[in-house]
Amino acid sequence: MKSVGKFSWLHYSSHEVMVGDIGFGGNNPVRLQSMTNTATADVEATVRQSKLIFDAGADLVRITARNIAEAVCLSDIRKELNSDGYSKPLSADIHFNPAIAVEAARRVEKIRINPGNFVNLFPGKLSFSNEEYKNELDEIHKITTPLIAVCREYGTSVRIGINGGSLSKRIIDRYGNTPQAMVESALEFIDIFRSDNFHKLVVSIKASEVLATIHANRLLAQAFVEKGYSYPIHLGVTEAGEGEDGRIKSAAGIGVLLIDGVGDTIRVSLTESPEKEIPVAQKIVASALKNRSQKDVARRFYEKVFPFKHYLNEAEKASNEKPVTGNRSRLPEVPLQIDLLRSNFEQSYNKPMAIVWEPELQSVIDFAIVAGSFFADGCGNAIRVDTKNDATSYYETALSLLQTTGRLITKAAFTSCPSCGRTTFDIEKILKQVKEQFASFTGVQFAVMGCIVNGPGEMEGARYGILGSKPNHVDIYFNGQPVLKGIHQDKAVAELKKLVDENEKK
Ligand code: SF4
Closest by Cα among 488, 481, 483, 486 to 498:
483
CA separation for the pair 77, 407 (Å, rounded): 45
* Residue 418 confidence (pLDDT): 83
**3-state SS assignment for residue 267:** strand
Residues in the chain: 506
Q: What is the pLDDT of residue 3?
A: 46
Which residue's CA is the closest to the ligand 1 atom numbered 7? 454
What is the average per-residue pLDDT within 70-82?
98
| Structural domains in the chain plus CATH codes | 17-235 (3.20.20.20), 297-404 (no CATH), 413-504 (3.30.413.10)
Atom of ligand 1 nearest to the CA of 420: 8
**In a 10 Å sphere around its CB, with 0-12 CB exposed, 13-18 middle and 19+ buried, how is residue 108 labelled?**
buried
DSSP state of 463: S
CB 337 within 8 A of CB 294: no
Cα of 73 to ligand 1 centre, how many Å?
19
Cβ atoms of 182 and 203 within 8 Å: the answer is no
CA of 174 to the centre of ligand 1 (A): 26
Contact 185, 137 (CB under 8 A): no
- pLDDT beyond 90 at 192: yes
Q: Where are the alpha helices (DSSP H) in 320-383?
A: 338-347, 364-376
Q: Is the pTM higher than 0.75?
A: yes
Cα-based distances in Å from 122 to 25, 60, 67, 85, 453:
36, 35, 22, 46, 18
Distances (CA, A) of 200 to 14, 23, 117, 157, 220: 12, 11, 21, 5, 17
Residue 279: how many other CB atoms lie within 10 Å: 13
Mean pLDDT on 224-233: 97
Compute the distance between CA of residue 84 and CA of residue 86 in angstroms, rounded to an integer. Answer: 6
CB-based contact 63:447 (threshold 8 Å): no
pLDDT of residue 329: 63
Element (H, E) at 158: strand 157-163
Instruction: Reply yes or no on whether the pLDDT at 455 is more than 60.
Output: yes
| Residues 118-150 pLDDT 10s | 888 888 888 889 999 999 999 999 999 999 999
**Residues 463/476, Cβ–Cβ less than 8 Å:** no
Sign of dihedral through CA atoms 330, 335, 336, 342? negative
Q: Does ligand 1 lie within 6 Å of residue 35's CB atom?
A: no
Name the residue at shortest CA distance from atom 8 of ligand 1.
420
Give yes or no for residue 352 CB within 6 A of ligand 1. Answer: no
120 HSE (CA, 13 A, CB side): 14
Cα(476)–Cα(39) distance, integer angstroms: 23
Report residue 403 CA to chain centroid gap: 17
Name the average pLDDT for the chain.
93
Q: How confident is the model over 395-450, as pLDDT tens digits?
A: 999 999 999 999 999 989 898 888 888 888 999 999 999 999 998 999 899 999 99
- How far is residue 115's CA from residue 112's CA, in Å, rounded to a whole number? 10
pLDDT over 70, % of the chain: 98
pLDDT of residue 461: 80
Residue-wise DSSP of 206-259 = EBSSHHHHHHHHHHHHHHHHHHT----EEE-BTTB-SHHHHHHHHIIIIIHHHT
The continuous run of DSSP H or E covering 276 comes out as none
Predicted local distance difference test score (pLDDT) of residue 327? 67
What helix, strand, coil percent values describe the chain, rounded to 5? 45, 20, 40
Summarize pLDDT for 77-93 with one digit per residue, the tens. Answer: 999 999 999 999 999 99
| Residue-wise pLDDT tens digits, 273-288 | 999 999 999 999 999 9
Q: Mutate which of 453, 467, 475 to test ligand 1's pocket (most atoms within 8 Å of Cβ)?
A: 453
Distance of CA 94 to the CA centre of its chain: 17
pLDDT digit string, tens, across residues 312-355: 999 899 988 899 887 656 889 999 999 999 999 999 888 899 99
Residue nearest to atom 6 of ligand 1 (CA): 454
Q: What is the DSSP letter of 272?
A: S
- The alpha carbon of residue 487 and the mean position of all alpha carbons in its chain are separated, in whole angstroms, by 29
